Amino acid sequence: MRELLVPLARIMHEVQKERGCVILFLCSNCAMDNDGIHQKFLETNHAVEALTVKLPGWRKNGRLGLNLWDKVEHLISDINELSKHRDLVLEKEVSATTSISLYSHKIIGPIIDLMIDVALKDPQHNSANVSAFSNFLYLKERIGRERALGVRGLVSDAFSNDEFIENYRFLIAEQDSYKDTFMALANEAQRLCYDRYMDDYSVKRIDEMHKLLREDKMGEGYAISATDWYELATQKIDLMHKVEIDLVGTLIKDETEKPTDDNSENEDRLYVGMNSFSKKQQDFIQTLPLFNGLSDWTLADLFRNASIGSYKKGKLLFLEGELPNRLYIILEGWVKLYKGNSSGDETIVQMLTSGDMIAESAVFLNAPFPISAQVAKNAQILTLPSPIIRENIKTNNELAINVLTAMSVHSQLLIQGLENIRLKSATERVGWFLLKLLLEQGRVPDMVELPYDKSLIASYLDMKPETFSRTLKKFKQKGFEIRKDAVILPKVKALCGFCDSDVAPACSMHGTPDCPNPDCISSEEIVLYD
């Protein structure tokens, strides 16, 4: 569907440019006059008209499915509604912050979703190539936001404000994340598209400014006028638009491509479509509650665009505030969900492992991620495009019920976990955590494998690393053997004193005469049952 993707890309590019012009017009009295902003509005309208004139013919010939047709019409209607906002802009009766938000979330975000949906629905397209393309779209949008935010910051001298600088750095971190993901997923042709245009002065100059910003050298990096910054950022984004158009031609499947034979554990891998997944992966996926009871047709539609990727420890999956473009489900490994603050401190909200969905509520609600996610131990993660998931939820009652059930269970487990961590003493927290791991692992009755770094465990249990170390020493004094990545119990039932009503259902002894702690009474004392 190149004939639809290209005009959509042009519309998005013009709306992004209009957003930048509007911020320049609102923030500066001389950098952009009324004639200039009127001209920009006309250029956006021309891009929309170029698509609109083609739609009747496409509809008559059945070139667009009903669902896509509705989305395109809705998008054009929303863009036409911009006329009200433009009137406020010309009268300078609207703020720059409101304008950035409206253009970003009301218009540009839905265009990106529509472009991804169009690309995924084309049977001639390779899903892995579409995944790379989608990450590039999000990368370009984050750079477009930087153009607008930079203009506002330079005009208002906000680069001396710590909160503004932190938000700006966050935007740069988002760009780095999307660029890394694009490069990891892109095939050779897609990387060539990027390299062909991005070896330019504007790109290198902005990269250098980012470097100085990271090093707290704002005075050196951003000694530039708002107008010059706008022109510099626009040069870069115009080049990215050329990449964007060229990438459309790389989405077609290459039948000559063969799977790699490289089995290196350290190599990032990507498998696309259910047929490329191993038998073990397929069997595990079909046991997940989200897919329970779904018809073969629904599963085929969902997994046609699904992929499984191998992610190294430390890989950032997404940052707080990003709009979700994929649903993540962990097959192996561990992922931490955390909140960060301006001083760089982290609070771990949850640790997730096999079978867990990651911040799924944001995906289902099409809302920004409320937390950040990072791989804590090498992981294999199943991902599905957000637009496909949301579309199926609207039309499939079974999937909708599964989603509600999964979200309810996840919410309940999160509340239980927070209660256990916050209301217990340090010894009780560590004992409860070790017992929970022991029951989940179930391989060796007297050994607990520590799934990730001890410093991460301490943070998850809401205690300082030194407190965690002192607590482990108490266990050691009671006969526990503390290793780097495991804890050996002195007796099989040594942790039963830390059992509670949340953990008990997972224990095979619960409710039997063999249970040494039938009332699930937790004590700070380490009780070694016979």
Q: Give the model confidence (pLDDT) of 394-436 as tens digits.
A: 888 888 888 888 777 767 666 666 666 666 788 888 888 888 8
Q: DSSP of 276-296, one letter per residue?
A: GS-HHHHHHHHTSGGGTT--H
Question: What separation in angstroms does the CA of 392 have from each of 115, 167, 296?
Answer: 17, 35, 13
In 3D space, the residue among 361, 368, 358, 423 whose CA is nearest the CA of residue 393 turns out to be 361
CATH architecture for segment(s) 424-506: Orthogonal Bundle (1.10)
What pLDDT score was predicted for residue 493?
85
Which of the residue ranges 272-286, 344-358, 364-378 would you say has the lowest mean pLDDT? 272-286
In tens, the pLDDT along 72-84 reads 888 889 898 899 9
What pLDDT score was predicted for residue 117?
82
In tens, the pLDDT along 16-34 reads 999 999 998 998 766 678 8
pLDDT score of 258 more than 60: no
User: Residue 522 — pLDDT band, cuts 50, 70, 90?
Assistant: low
What pLDDT score was predicted for residue 240?
94
Residues 6+ apart with CB under 8 A from 221: 208, 209, 210, 211, 212, 213
Mean pLDDT, residues 196-219: 84
Higher pLDDT, 76 or 296: 76
Phi-psi region of 442 (alpha: psi -120 to 50; beta: other; left: phi over 0): left
What pLDDT score was predicted for residue 518?
79
What pLDDT score was predicted for residue 264?
39
Q: Where in the chain is the domain with CATH 2.60.120.10?
A: 270-412
User: Residue 523 — pLDDT band, cuts 50, 70, 90?
Assistant: low
What pLDDT score was predicted for residue 256?
47
In 3D space, the residue among 330, 311, 304 whose CA is nearest the CA of residue 382 turns out to be 330
Letter for the amino acid at 154?
Answer: L
Do 237 and 16 form a contact (C-beta atoms < 8 A)? yes
Residues 6+ apart with CB under 8 A from 93: none
What pLDDT score was predicted for residue 205?
92
Do 329 and 291 form a contact (C-beta atoms < 8 A)? no
pLDDT score of 331 more than 80: yes
Question: H helices of 28-126, where?
Answer: 34-52, 55-60, 66-80, 82-90, 96-101, 109-121
State residue 225 phi and psi, 5-degree precision: -75, 160
User: Residue 329 — pLDDT band, cuts 50, 70, 90?
Assistant: very high
pLDDT score of 368 more than 70: yes
Q: Is 160 exposed, middle or buried (0-12, 13-18, 19+ CB in 10 A)?
A: exposed
pLDDT score of 131 more than 70: yes
In tens, the pLDDT along 215-250 reads 776 556 678 888 899 999 999 999 999 999 999 999
Class of domain 270-412: mainly beta
Mean confidence (pLDDT) of the chain: 83
Mean pLDDT, residues 345-366: 84
Question: What separation in angstroms does the CA of 454 have from each of 340, 449, 463, 472?
Answer: 19, 11, 11, 10
Share above pLDDT 70 across residues of the chain, in percent, rounded to a whole number: 86
Higher pLDDT, 225 or 257: 225
In tens, the pLDDT along 169-192 reads 888 887 887 888 788 778 889 999
The angle subtended at Cα 402 by Cα 397 and Cα 407, nearest 5°, is 130
Beta bridge partners of 372: 338
Token pair recorded at residue 217? 């050298």
In tens, the pLDDT along 485-495 reads 889 988 888 88
Phi-psi region of 176 (alpha: psi -120 to 50; beta: other; left: phi over 0): alpha
| pTM confidence score | 0.61
Residues 6+ apart with CB under 8 A from 29: none
Mean pLDDT, residues 191-205: 91
Task: Tell whether the torsion through CA atoms of 432, 433, 435 and 439 is positive or negative.
Answer: positive
Tell me which range, 93-97, 320-324, 386-390, is most confidently predicted by mean pLDDT.
Answer: 93-97
Mean pLDDT, residues 152-164: 83
Q: Where in the chain is the domain with CATH 1.10.10.10?
A: 424-506
pLDDT score of 194 more than 50: yes
What pLDDT score was predicted for residue 346?
75
What pLDDT score was predicted for residue 39?
92
Do 71 and 79 form a contact (C-beta atoms < 8 A)? no
What pLDDT score was predicted for residue 503?
75
Mean pLDDT, residues 120-128: 78
Q: Count Cβ atoms below 10 Å from residue 399 Cβ, excluding itself.
A: 22
User: Residue 292 — pLDDT band, cuts 50, 70, 90?
Assistant: confident
Q: How far apart are CA 116 and CA 136, in angstroms?
A: 11
Residues 6+ apart with CB under 8 A from 407: 360, 361, 364
Letter for the amino acid at 36?
Answer: G
What pLDDT score was predicted for residue 260?
41
Token pair recorded at residue 80? 């036409």
In tens, the pLDDT along 303-312 reads 877 888 888 8
What pLDDT score was predicted for residue 66?
60
State residue 453 phi and psi, 5-degree precision: -55, 145
Task: Tell whether the torsion through CA atoms of 12, 242, 185 and 351 is positive or negative.
Answer: negative
Cα 2 to chain centroid distance, Å, stands at 27
User: Residue 463 — pLDDT band, cuts 50, 70, 90?
Assistant: confident
Share above pLDDT 90 across residues of the chain, in percent, rounded to a whole number: 20
Do 294 and 398 form a contact (C-beta atoms < 8 A)? yes
CA dihedral of residues 502, 504, 506, 507 (deg, nearest 10): 160
